[in-house]
Amino acid sequence: MRLQFTSLSKSYKGKRVFEDISGQVNDGDRIGLIGANGVGKSTLARLLAGIEEGDAGQVTRSPSHMEILYVQQYPEFDEDITVYDAARRAVPDGAADAGAVERALYDVGLDRNKWRQRAQSLSGGEKTKLLLCSALLKDYDLLILDEPTNHLDMESCAWLEEFAARQSKPMLIISHDRYFLDNTANRIWELTPQGLKVYEGNYSAYRDQKEIEQRSVTREYQKQQARIQHLKQVIYERKGWYESAHKSAGQNDFYRSKAKKHAGVLKAKERELARIEAERIDKPRKEVSPAFEVINKGVSGQKLPPYLVKGKGITKAFGQKVLFEDAAFNIKRRDKIALIGQNGTGKTTLLRILCGEDRDYEGSITVNPSVRIGYFAQEFDNLNNDATILDEMLAAGAAAQDARLLLAGLLFRGDDVFKKIGNLSMGEKGRAAFAKLILSGANLLVLDEPTNHMDIGAREKMEEVLNEFEGSIIFVTHDRYFIKRLANRVFVVEDNRLQCYDGGYEYYQSKLREKRAKERAGTDYRILMDDIRRLECRLAFLGGRLNETVDEDEKEQLSREYLETARLLNQYRENIKGRC
């Protein structure tokens, strides 16, 4: 299979989306397509899928009858169609038998109790899963997934990674989910206003290559600028020499020859300068780092207690539906806590209780008087749509210079700060609300889905700010990359309970694997662990004996037993890893 496109261009109502881009998809490709919001990623995908036509350029498919399955970003279904019928209709002429349809629904995680529901009534994540049924029921050559992790909780994202890994056909995945791209992509396409660029490897490999590329461009720019300045200086000096020699030459052949030589060198340098100017390297855009002093203005120098917040016996229910019960937790100085759990388990509710927004619960929350809580709600309630971005920052009590410095670090540069809040995209509103929160002087940030609607560049800028922040943070997000970079503790809402892990995301994952292994292995796991501890003790004893003995026969016997014990110990450890 091969899909090739050359010199593609597309515009809507006279506004250019992209121009003159080329690329290809081959067997074995798992391509992650990334780029800023609005750059044309979905448009490119729709052109490749044959859903839309480009203004110019060509798409060549081999074989020509190639079947492309496009899973769109915003799933739509007929008003009255059921989940089961929508899955059945995924196959032309309803060719799939009932057993195949049922297996596909189970495989994507839609249980039988949902099959008679209207497809339109499903959650966003469930709709995506329903569309993915077609990947199990239809024969296709290329699968295109447009923002597939939108609306999915973390467990569903992990399921989708496994789903993608099982697919043998090539894939093109549009996503801002860096963790997902790390685990699924083997090539990255970066779409920018300058064109489409290809990088080998997953997202983390792409980042490493971009850093190397940026350093190389900076060096080449500096080298070129030095050469330009040198040539300008030489040309200036040669002009002076030429004019002086020309005046002095008169009819003197020697001085006329000398003046002619200066003229030749001058013209050669001018030609070289003209050539370099024609191939001038654009000045690399300097990334603005969020200023440490601005970020921590409301935190620096404060003497905060070890524990900022303590919660005991927290129980919350809506009617008969219990979200969590008898939850206990604490928030310490400099904590960066990720609050995770499936959709609908009460994460936002717990944040609202912590902030005093919801007082209808059992139990107690104790907040130290020195704590100033800043709450980032999903609805951006703290923004005035009629104000400019800069005015909103000044209303939070920030100095204009501090506000502009932080805003630049969050990608609001130059005149961007004078945009009206009401005219911003959802991602821009998120960045503005976040900047206002930082400038408010809060020393405990409570963030509910702060990265929603943001592209990768905006998410990484927010991560930079939060990494510099010296206060405490508790945040809800489905962005596992974000969690991995920030969290030093993880709280999980599961089965109506709150579990607190005193370690980052990798620590939480290891504990989760260990827990699942214990559940699968039961008694066998405990026996294995007992055997491992016994073998470790035996190995330590044999090592001591080997160091002490002088008898060669005894040493040889001990050495054989030591090697056999070490082999057995490694085997048992591998068994434990396999169960995890």
Q: Given this model, what pLDDT does residue 286 score? A: 65
Q: Given this model, what pLDDT does residue 429 score? A: 94
Q: Given this model, what pLDDT does residue 252 score? A: 57
**Comparison of pLDDT for 505 and 562, the residue scoring more:** 505
Q: Given this model, what pLDDT does residue 96 score? A: 62
Residue 110 clears pLDDT 80, i.e. is over it: yes
Segment 153-202, tens digit of pLDDT: 888 888 889 888 888 899 999 999 999 999 999 999 999 999 999 999 99
- Confidence class of residue 317 from pLDDT cuts 50, 70 and 90? very high
Residue 530 clears pLDDT 90, i.e. is over it: no
Question: End-to-end alpha-carbon separation of the chain, Å?
Answer: 37
Q: Quote the tokens at residue 488.
A: 């030093």
Q: Given this model, what pLDDT does residue 462 score? A: 93
Residue 289 clears pLDDT 70, i.e. is over it: no
Segment 347-392, tens digit of pLDDT: 999 999 999 999 999 999 999 999 999 999 988 878 999 999 999 9
Smallest Cα–Cα separation from 104: which of 89, 118, 79, 87?
87
Q: Given this model, what pLDDT does residue 302 score? A: 84
**Comparison of pLDDT for 528 and 8, the residue scoring more:** 8
**Comparison of pLDDT for 513 and 35, the residue scoring more:** 35
Q: Where are the alpha helices (DSSP H) in 38-138?
A: 41-48, 83-88, 98-107, 124-137
- Confidence class of residue 60 from pLDDT cuts 50, 70 and 90? very high
- Confidence class of residue 557 from pLDDT cuts 50, 70 and 90? confident
Phi-psi region of 286 (alpha: psi -120 to 50; beta: other; left: phi over 0): beta
Q: Given this model, what pLDDT does residue 431 score? A: 94
Residue 133 clears pLDDT 80, i.e. is over it: yes
Q: Tell me the pLDDT of the chain averaged across its residues.
A: 88
Q: Given this model, what pLDDT does residue 139 score? A: 84
Residue 46 clears pLDDT 80, i.e. is over it: yes
- Confidence class of residue 251 from pLDDT cuts 50, 70 and 90? low
Whether cis (ω within 30° of 0) applies to the bond prior to 284 is no
What pTM value is reported for the model?
0.76
3-state secondary structure at position 331: strand
Distance from C-alpha of 259 to C-alpha of 244, rounded to nearest angstrom: 8
Kindly report the backbone phi and psi dihedral angles of residue 117, in degrees, each rounded to the nearest multiple of 5, phi listed first: -70, 155
**Comparison of pLDDT for 548 and 210, the residue scoring more:** 210
Segment 401-443, tens digit of pLDDT: 999 999 998 989 899 999 999 999 999 999 999 999 999 999 9
Q: Name the strand (E) or helix (H) holding 15.
A: strand 15-26
Q: Name the strand (E) or helix (H) holding 497.
A: strand 497-501
Segment 494-515, tens digit of pLDDT: 999 999 999 999 999 988 887 8
Segment 280-298 shows an average pLDDT of: 77
- Of the chain, the percentage scoring pLDDT greater than 70 comes to 92
Q: Quote the tokens at residue 448.
A: 């509910």
Kindly report the backbone phi and psi dihedral angles of residue 439, in degrees, each rounded to the nearest multiple of 5, phi listed first: -75, -10
Q: Given this model, what pLDDT does residue 550 score? A: 74
Distance from C-alpha of 30 to C-alpha of 186, rounded to nearest angstrom: 5
Segment 82-103, tens digit of pLDDT: 999 988 887 766 556 788 888 8
- Confidence class of residue 546 from pLDDT cuts 50, 70 and 90? confident
Q: Which residues contact 569 (CB under 8 A, 6 or more apart)?
A: 532, 535, 536, 539
Smallest Cα–Cα separation from 192: which of 20, 13, 423?
20
3-state secondary structure at position 19: strand
DSSP assignment of 538-549: HHHHHHHHHHH-
- Confidence class of residue 290 from pLDDT cuts 50, 70 and 90? low
Segment 216-247, tens digit of pLDDT: 988 998 999 999 999 989 888 877 776 776 66
